[in-house]
């Protein structure tokens, strides 16, 4: 009996040591083990149609479809242009007979077209509403052939008759005339490359299609260059806010409108003083922040929007 009691204490001690060593090994494994991240594979360029009519692509390490944007009934004025039109010989815009002023928006009940006539002491004039037609979310007004104004703008209204936006052409506008009323009484230039006759911009690929903020991205396609060879690309967040990035890498004389190369980062910080690219006037930076998420990416040279591809900013 005394011999058996002598074996018990060593057995207990050995058991406790085994338990302690096992627990220590388990916690060490949990703390220092590193899981291997899945390797990225090339995502296909297919897209999924969302309830709001937009589409999202595959992105991220596992190539899942990005989340569709939240459906919103927010009223907004989205664009305004004269189609067709061309730069005139006095810095303004000239249009041919039959041209239209075209405004687009979402969830608007009314759009007003306003004319700013030349001369001092003359107030802005509301365009004749009976000459305006609406087709879904697009409003159109046929312009008279001999009109000459220093600006043309539109104002949108929501269902409560609140103003929700204003877009101005921002230049003098005139049509062909023989009356002498316009300082540019001339025929519409036959060789003018208008929005309707310009070749459509097309994006063939974006590489890579995901990455951290600051990633350098190459967008390849056709007819991507705009005024004076500008190479600009737009990134649109899920909330509809956009940021324009400009190619400061490429050589337009070599790549033409076939390549846009940009760094996915804000060109300036909000509140920072910047100089206008064309005006040379100092202003305040108001770019949106590029936050993690999937962005629609497209070009819009000469006001004509390309097809959409997608880029995901990872965390």
Q: Please indicate, yes or no, if residue 58 is contained in any of the structural domains.
A: no
As a residue count, the chain comes to 315
Q: Quote the domain boundaries for residue 226.
A: 202-313
Answer whether the bond into residue 265 is a cis peptide, omega within 30°.
Answer: no
Q: Which residues of 194-223 are buried (b: 16+ CB within 10 A; e: fewer)?
A: beeeeeebebeebebbbeeeeeebebbbeb
In a shared domain, residues 216 and 263: yes
Determine the Cα–Cα distance for residues 46 and 68; give it in Å rounded to an integer. 14
Most confident range, picked from 92-106, 171-185, 298-312:
298-312
Q: Find all residues with CB under 8 Å of 149, minimum gap 6, and list them.
A: 115, 116, 117, 118, 172, 173, 174
Q: Is the pLDDT higher at 232 or at 3?
A: 232
Determine the Cα–Cα distance for residues 269 and 224; give it in Å rounded to an integer. 26
Residue 257, domain CATH: 2.60.40.10
Q: Is the pLDDT higher at 314 or at 85?
A: 314
Q: Please indicate, yes or no, if residue 36 is contained in any of the structural domains.
A: no
In a shared domain, residues 170 and 222: no
Q: How confident is the model at residue 183 (pLDDT cuts 50, 70, 90)?
A: very low
In a shared domain, residues 115 and 209: no
Statement: residue 63 has pLDDT above 90:
no
**What's the pTM?**
0.43
Number of domains in the chain: 2
Q: Which residues of 164-178 are buried (b: 16+ CB within 10 A; e: fewer)?
A: bbebebebbbbbbbe
Q: Please indicate, yes or no, if residue 6 is contained in any of the structural domains.
A: no
Q: Is the pLDDT higher at 151 or at 9?
A: 151
pLDDT tens digits along 85-113? 877 655 678 887 778 889 988 889 889 99
């Amino acid at each position: 009996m005394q011999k058996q009691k002598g074996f018990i204490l060593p057995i207990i001690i050995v058991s406790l040591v085994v338990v302690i060593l096992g627990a220590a090994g388990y916690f060490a494994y949990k703390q220092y083990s590193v899981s291997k991240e899945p390797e990225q594979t090339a995502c296909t360029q297919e897209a999924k149609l969302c309830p709001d009519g937009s589409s999202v692509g595959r992105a991220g390490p596992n190539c899942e479809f990005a989340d569709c944007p939240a459906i919103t009934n927010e009223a907004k004025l989205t664009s305004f242009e004269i189609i067709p039109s061309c730069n005139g010989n006095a810095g303004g815009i000239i249009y041919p007979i039959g041209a239209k002023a075209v405004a687009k928006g979402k969830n608007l009940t009314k759009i007003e077209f306003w004319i700013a006539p030349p001369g001092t002491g003359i107030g802005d004039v509301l365009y004749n509403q009976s000459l305006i037609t609406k087709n879904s979310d697009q409003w159109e007004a046929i312009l008279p052939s001999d009109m000459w104004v220093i600006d043309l703008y539109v104002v949108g209204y929501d269902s409560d008759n609140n103003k929700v936006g204003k877009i101005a052409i921002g230049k003098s506008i005139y049509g062909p005339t023989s009356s002498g009323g316009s300082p540019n009484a001339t025929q519409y230039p036959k060789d003018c490359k208008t929005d309707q006759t310009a070749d459509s911009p097309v994006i063939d690929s974006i590489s890579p299609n995901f990455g951290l903020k600051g990633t350098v991205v190459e967008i390849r396609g056709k007819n991507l260059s705009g005024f004076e060879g500008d190479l600009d690309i737009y990134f649109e967040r899920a909330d509809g806010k956009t940021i324009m990035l400009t190619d400061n890498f490429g050589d337009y004389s070599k790549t033409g409108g076939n390549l846009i190369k940009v760094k996915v980062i804000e060109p300036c910080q909000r509140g920072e003083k910047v100089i206008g690219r064309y005006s040379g006037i100092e202003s305040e930076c108001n770019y949106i922040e590029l936050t993690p998420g999937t962005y629609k990416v497209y070009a819009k040279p000469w006001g004509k929007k390309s097809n959409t591809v997608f880029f995901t900013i990872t965390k």
